[in-house]
Chains A and B, each alone.
Chain A
């Protein structure tokens, strides 16, 4: 079965894992997701330096500006002569980074350096650059970032590699058996069964997404267990736990009770009596409340809202919620079972690309739609939407209940979609 050349397809007719044909790409004006600038600033006291062409630089420097973080951001502009003279790109990168650091009032303890696509394309000697920089600034920890979107369609994305580079600077410290760290996510764990159970077990909880000082961030190296709840952070967590010889648990927000129960049971943590039964009961009660409230209102979900959008669609559809559309461009392999289940049981569910050329002219219905995620809100043109990315770092029965409460709130209270969705980095400071 061929992939669809249209912007949408019934899931019953869709191809796994790429339902849509490649083509020119549209970019919807919903920008709540985090980019590498937002992610990099999760290291307290770190300074970011980008070395790239003017147009490429504009997006990242304005991200920092809109966060009010220009004091922690510098840049080096690449010009034609950097690409036509042998060795010039290394020289410009080294001298540019050096100049930026010397102009700062105080040399920062951590510097994240971002070479770009052209560094790769020209075979730039990145190792040489860091050797020189580390000789010149022996007290600085250099984090090896990269902004190379040309590589992202095959293998790992720049943000996955950045998360790994950021974890590479966490040192191996003496293990504290009672310390557990949430790592790999952009937002601190919120309504989260793991967090609740860790607290009940009397363990010390750290979170790399919620560190106030560099010392606190680096102290993640003493944790005995790492918990990763965001797919893009998994590579980093696997790497650091392998390097430090620690254990990790991977458990992204799932809407399947069985998966939650299995992940919590296999964690090795002590789970209180009736935790699962009570959790399921609470979810069922919240589901009934949601269903009573929204009735047959169509629901649209986008892939930026939750790590597993098809798991959410399946959960809601199975419980009588009228899920109409899921906005995504590909299906993660971890969602294969959910994809097949929906194909067989809800074949009329629509999968809609977010990048298709015709998306520039979205066809919007006049009926009230409850959207989950900013892109879904923009495509549906609705002000009733759950303003969330990355599952809001929720997890488990608490997370599922919390999620449904957000849906109820979104149904009852409209939001200013035009003001909200163009703002970058949901959860970060926005100065616009």
Chain B
């Protein structure tokens, strides 16, 4: 049954993804959910808690307010918190019960903007999708609400879009001196940095979470984008590197997995096929790649594997004869392998012999 998980955990959810994306952007993210539900994000899906503050709160929704659709407390609590904590914007994230009762988040955003004078936007989540969707919605929501046409352009300026600890631990993007990094969305960054994004001449989507914001900035501000991790000092669209069907698989997020597969192809000539286990895949897979949803599909897809590059937990559903190269992914195994996550931008660390 597609919806059951015998032993694997699910990937980080969309609500946590939204909070992670906006963590360093200077705003206040409010999750409309019962008391304590933010502990999931706080405990398992966020690494920055001790080093960098962020205004991420939960509404503490109770059954009566959920049943009666009482939004007044939600609104007044947000206003009080905003008055106290002075965020630069407010983002609202949805959860199953407000999703079910059809809470009008966009309407609430309008009321909050009137009452607080702060920009406010809705991040379209409902806890039923994975983190890539939540991050994508958050980056897009921020871009639509906050970005303005630039006063100046930096032609060689680039934005790194779609970078959070859920996928990547390092911000050491190895771009040559001919490029200038304007902003990073959103790791080791700040509001002052990301708000300058429209000055850049190129966007690099380093994960599927960044694609929607890149497309928006292309349409609205004429900034072209490419997909993939930069290798050896220059941006590279991993989709431009041809790969063929093989029994070597990289399991994970499609842009990062595709980038690694492209790099391995260029460097070694070995074909790896991507098995995308996260949600956003449209236009991100080659013909040799595939999408798998859930444990059962993934287990089936790995049955003929010769080589597997994946999070160590995937080993639980892989046959024992496959050669397994561990590449921990925080959005799957969380804190279990946190100390073993290598710098993805340095494949020699995890794929020996390059």
Contacts and interface: CB of A to CB of B under 8 A. Distances in A.
Contacts, number: 205
A149 B338 CA distance: 29
A17 interface: no
A418 to B, nearest CB: 6
Interface string B80-117: 11001100000000011100110000000000000000
B128 A78 contact: yes
Contacts of B84: 357-358
Contacts of B126: 53, 80
A53 B128 contact: yes
Contacts of A77: 3-5, 10, 128, 294
Contact of B50 (A79, A99, A100, A418): A418
A150 B62 contact: yes
In this complex, the interface size class of chain A, counting residues with CB under 8 Å from chain B, is 35 or more
B330 to A, nearest CB: 11
A153 B35 contact: yes
B9 A23 contact: no
A70 interface: yes
A24 B30 contact: yes
A290 to B, nearest CB: 30
A139 to B, nearest CB: 20
Interface string A411-432: 0000000100010100000011
A29 interface: yes
A59 B12 CA distance: 9
B329 to A, nearest CB: 13
A357 to B, nearest CB: 4
Contacts of B66: 121, 150
Interface string A115-153: 011101110000000000000000000000000011111
A70 to B, nearest CB: 5
B334 A65 contact: yes
Contact of A74 (B7, B13, B15, B85): B7
B157 interface: no
B6 interface: yes
Interface in B1-25: 1, 3-16
B316 A53 contact: no
A150 B6 contact: no
Contacts of A62: 9, 40, 43-44, 334-335
Interface stretch (B51-59, B207-215, B280-288): B51-59
In this complex, the interface size class of chain B, counting residues with CB under 8 Å from chain A, is 35 or more
A422 B128 CA distance: 26
A58 interface: yes
Given A54-B14, A54-B130, A99-B1, A83 B9 contact: no
A56 B49 contact: no
Contacts of A152: 34-36
Contact of B62 (A56, A153, A358): A153
A118 B96 contact: yes
B150 interface: no
Contact of A80 (B1, B45, B128): B128
B85 A27 contact: no
A30 B313 CA distance: 26
Main secondary structure of the interface of B (DSSP, over half): mixed
Nearest to A83: B100
B203 interface: no
A318 interface: no
Nearest to A417: B50
User: Which of A24, A56, A71, A104 has the largest number of chain B CB atoms within 10 A?
Assistant: A24
Interface in A134-178: 149-154
B118 interface: no
Interface in B207-228: none
A95 interface: yes
B257 interface: no
B155 interface: no
B100 A22 contact: no
Interface in A27-83: 27, 29, 31, 53-59, 61-62, 65-66, 70-71, 73-80, 83
B135 to A, nearest CB: 13
A54 B128 contact: yes
Given A54-B129, A65-B9, A150 B39 contact: no
Contacts of B58: 24-25, 27
A360 interface: yes
B42 interface: yes
Given A55-B40, A80-B126, A23 B77 contact: yes
Contact of B3 (A96, A151, A418): A96
B128 A58 contact: no
A361 interface: yes
B42 A150 contact: no
B127 interface: yes
B51 to A, nearest CB: 10
A199 B147 CA distance: 71
Contacts of A5: 80
Given A24-B78, A56-B96, A103-B4, A149 B37 contact: yes
Contacts of B39: 27, 31, 59
Contacts of B12: 55, 58
B100 A122 contact: yes
Contacts of A104: 6
Contacts of B73: 22
A25 B336 contact: no
B333 interface: yes
Contacts of A74: 4-7
Contacts of B85: 357-358, 360-361
Contacts of A116: 96
A38 to B, nearest CB: 13
B335 A55 contact: no
B14 A22 contact: no
A288 to B, nearest CB: 37
Nearest to A59: B40
A53 B127 contact: yes
A187 to B, nearest CB: 20
A203 B60 CA distance: 46
A26 interface: yes
Q: Which 4 A-B pairs have the closest CB atoms?
A: A55-B13, A59-B40, A55-B127, A24-B57
14 contacts: A25-B38, A27-B58, A29-B49, A53-B13, A58-B12, A76-B5, A80-B128, A100-B6, A153-B60, A153-B62, A355-B35, A360-B53, A360-B56, A431-B336
Interface of A: 5, 22-27, 29, 31, 53-59, 61-62, 65-66, 70-71, 73-80, 83, 92, 95-96, 99-100, 103-104, 116-118, 120-122, 149-154, 355, 357-358, 360-361, 418, 422, 424, 431-432
Given A53-B128, A77-B4, A360-B53, 19 more contacts: A25-B57, A54-B14, A54-B130, A58-B9, A59-B39, A59-B43, A59-B44, A70-B8, A76-B5, A77-B5, A77-B128, A83-B100, A96-B1, A96-B4, A120-B63, A121-B66, A150-B61, A151-B62, A357-B80
